[in-house]
Amino acid sequence: MINAKQCRAARAWLAWSQDDLAEQSLVSKRAIAGFELEKTVPHDRTLRDLQRAFEDAGLTFQMDGARGIGLQESQENSNLG
């Protein structure tokens, strides 16, 4: 599942505000803000909902355990950024 840095990076890539992400993921803006500031740890379901929203928008997360942030855009959505 995604971490706070990946969430912020994905939002930036898509030029989404926290309101946009809240709308797409059905997660509250308050929960998103707390997560991105690393002040709260969301439930697994919330993390899945956030990741799904980004994936539905065409992003893929690299979850190979390496340190860093990996984002990849699908070919069909390559005109997003």
Give the pLDDT confidence of 27-60 residue by residue, as tens digits.
Answer: 999 999 999 999 999 999 999 999 999 999 999 8
Residues 70-80, mean pLDDT to the nearest whole number: 61
Residues 18-24, mean pLDDT to the nearest whole number: 99
CB-based contact 62:22 (threshold 8 Å) = no
- Residue 62 pLDDT class (50, 70, 90 cuts): confident
Residue 79 pLDDT greater than 80, yes or no: no
Q: Return the structure tokens found at 7.
A: 């969430």
* CA atoms of 65 and 13, how far apart (whole Å): 21
- Residue 81 pLDDT class (50, 70, 90 cuts): very low
Q: Which domains does the chain have, with CATH numbers?
A: 4-77 (1.10.260.40)
